[in-house]
Amino acid sequence: MFETLKPAAPDGILALMSLYRDDPRAGKIDLGVGVYRDETGATPVMRAVREAERRLHETQASKTYLGLAGDTAFNALMIGLVLGEDADRTRLRAAQTPGGTGALRQLADLVRLARPDATVWTPDPTWPNHLPILRAAGLKIASFPYYDPAEGITFDAAVAALNNAVSGDVVLLHGCCHNPTGADLSLDQWAAIADLAVERGLVPFVDIAYQGFGQGLDEDAAGVRLLAARVPEMLVAASCSKNFSVYRDRVGAAILLGRNAAEADAAYSQLLGVGRGIWSMPPDHAAACVRIVLEDEALRAEWQAELDTVRARMLALRQGFAEALRRASNSDRFDFIAGQRGMFSRLGLTPDEVTRLRDEHGVYIVGDSRFNVAGLPGDRLDDLAARIVAVLP
Ligand code: LMR
């Protein structure tokens, strides 16, 4: 049977990891995949998570199954973390998932069960993996313009495109720290999206994978919370990979908001059925650690302080990098980097310039010129800026 298969195209982000690993040059710089790095280049286990692991190790008496939804205490805590303590829990349900990607896929399959003809409107650009996930769920995909390097967020064009969506269609939005542009909606824009969703019967589907990396835990969730307070139905895929630094352990949450408790319950039972058909029951370890951190006041405070440090470091790197590029290019072309938020921005280079940056200068960024802010070498920003300017015309 395998003779029918051609090799799959490599994932544009993940392929960079092995290219970088195999590059023997000493001065190489990895700004590819979105993982946080500290000033030594390491991606450490957070102290609060390490302590949670220790407690888990000492107290966990069994590894028997917990059930289709995973750890229900974790799920309840995730609703609070993402949607706030005031959220209307009578209409909200959450299931533990293998990472944010698991949540995206489980919710996409739920959409397919509920509305097989729905189109999912995705921002252009978006995280490249959104498209295969939605396709794998068998959903139709359309895009709406989101960002233009010269203009920033193209909100009027986005609304104009979304006016072509029909009732029951789904609109995918990045909760914060838009990947790949670092350009986030203002609260007024979130409010306009809520109006549009209510008027046109559209269902927001929010992917929030970087909560706490932009402006703060509550600030980064302000848009998704505004929507949850106003729209009748909504889907939220939350990831703990980045803000708890538990990447490879895989934990996230699939959250749904129904029009009422009965519809939320029915949808939730279908959501769990989807999970049963893919992974049966979600992996536990990182979810248990996140639960231990969030339910212990002191550990939670320690985690938040660590997250504050992570965010402050990325903000300082953005500032320093924009200044270094200003000096190297003698222009304000890259000033926007300082004003954007989260782990990514795009330099605005052509694919050819991106390739030359890698081949001639050992700097690894994604093909659309997205770079990982946390990978910026704080002590070599002028050197990096010089390499970037060297590939410009
Ligand atoms: C990224 O965008 O780099 C991360 O979300 C990692 C991934 O899986 O692509």
pLDDT, tens digit (0-9, with 9 covering 90-100), for 280-297: 999 999 999 999 999 999
Contact between residue 228 and residue 195 where contact means Cβ atoms under 8 Å apart: no
Mean per-residue pLDDT, 342-358: 97
Which atom number of ligand 1 is nearest to the Cα of residue 209? Answer: 5
Ligand 1 atom nearest to CA at 366: 3
Say if residue 251 is in the same domain as residue 356.
Answer: no
Average pLDDT over residues 197-219: 98
Domain that holds residue 203: 65-295
Confidence of residue 214 (pLDDT cuts 50, 70, 90): very high
Residue 213 is part of a domain; what is its CATH number? 3.40.640.10
Query: Per the structure block, which two tokens stand in for 214?
Result: 């932009």
CB atoms within 10 A of CB 324: 22
Tokens representing 210?
């970087």
Distance CA 356, CA 354 (A): 6
pLDDT of residue 164: 97
Rounded to the nearest whole angstrom, what is the distance from the C-alpha of residue 91 to the centroid of ligand 1? 31
Pair (77, 138) in one structural domain: yes
Q: Is residue 1 domain-resident?
A: no
SS3 at position 95: strand
Cβ–Cβ under 8 Å, residues 274 and 254: no
Mean per-residue pLDDT, 122-141? 98
Mutate to test the pocket of ligand 1, among 127, 207, 241, 243 (most ligand atoms within 8 A of CB): 127
User: What separation in angstroms does the CA of 119 have from each of 41, 268, 353?
Assistant: 41, 21, 35
Q: Is 83 left (phi over 0), alpha (psi -120 to 50) or beta?
A: alpha
- How far apart (Å, rounded) are the C-alpha atoms in residues 76 and 85? 10
Output the pLDDT for position 5.
97
Decide which of 275, 295, 315 is a domain's last residue: 295
Q: Which residues contact 255 (CB under 8 A, 6 or more apart)?
A: 78, 79, 82, 83, 92, 93, 94, 103, 235, 236, 237, 238
Residues 251 and 151 in one domain: yes
In a shared domain, residues 222 and 284: yes
- Token digits for 29? 């710089």
Query: Which residues lie below 8 Å from residue 145, measured CB to CB, with a gap of 6+?
Result: 124, 154, 157, 158, 161
- Residue the block writes with tokens 């320690």: 302
Q: Which pLDDT score, from 0 to 100, does residue 305 have?
A: 98
340 pLDDT band, cuts 50/70/90, is: very high
Indicate if the alpha-carbon torsion angle 225, 227, 230, 236 is positive or negative.
negative
CA-nearest residue for atom 2, ligand 1, is 34
CB of 256 closer than 8 Å to CB of 264: yes
Q: What is the pLDDT of residue 35?
A: 94
Domain end, chosen from 295, 325, 356, is at 295
Average pLDDT rounded to a whole number, residues 57-82: 98
Do 340 and 308 reside in the same domain of the chain? Answer: yes
| Tokens 């989807």 sit on residue | 274
Proportion of the chain above pLDDT 90, given as a percent = 99
Q: Give the nearest ligand 1 atom to 129 CA.
A: 9
User: Does residue 5 sit within a domain?
Assistant: no
Residue labelled with tokens 């280049």: 41
Band of the pLDDT at 38, cuts 50, 70, 90?
A: very high
Same domain, 40 and 163: no
Q: Catalytic amino acids?
A: 127, 207, 209, 242
Is 391 within 8 Å of 356 (Cβ atoms)? yes
Alpha-carbon distance 285 to 280, whole Å?
16
CA quadruple 76, 79, 82, 87: dihedral sign: negative
Q: Is the domain of 142 the same as that of 269?
A: yes
Q: How many domains does the chain have?
A: 2
Place 166 in a pLDDT band, splitting at 50, 70 and 90.
very high
269 and 192 within one domain: yes
3-state class of 333 per DSSP? coil
Pocket of ligand 1, beta carbon within 6 A: 13, 33-34, 127, 129, 179
Residue that has been written with the tokens 């195999």 in this structure: 22
Phi, psi of 141 (to 5 degrees): -125, 135
Q: Is 392 exposed, middle or buried (0-12, 13-18, 19+ CB in 10 A)?
A: middle
- What lies within 8 Å, CB to CB, of 358 at 6+ separation is 19, 364, 365
Residues 6+ positions from 14 with CB-CB distance below 8 Å: 33
If asked whether residues 306 and 272 sit together in one domain, one would say no
End-of-domain residue from the set 245, 278, 295? 295
The CATH number linked to 339 is 3.90.1150.10
Q: Give the dihedral of Cα atoms 196, 198, 200, 203; nearest 10 deg.
A: 90
Which residue's C-alpha comes closest to atom 1 of ligand 1? Answer: 34
Span 145-149, mean pLDDT? Answer: 97
Strands 119-124 and 29-30: unpaired
- In the reported structure, the alpha carbon of residue 1 is separated from the centroid of ligand 1 by a whole-number distance in angstroms of 32
pLDDT digits (tens, 9 = 90+) for 98-108: 999 999 999 99
Statement to judge: residues 82 and 118 lie in one domain: yes
Do both 114 and 202 map to the same domain? Answer: yes
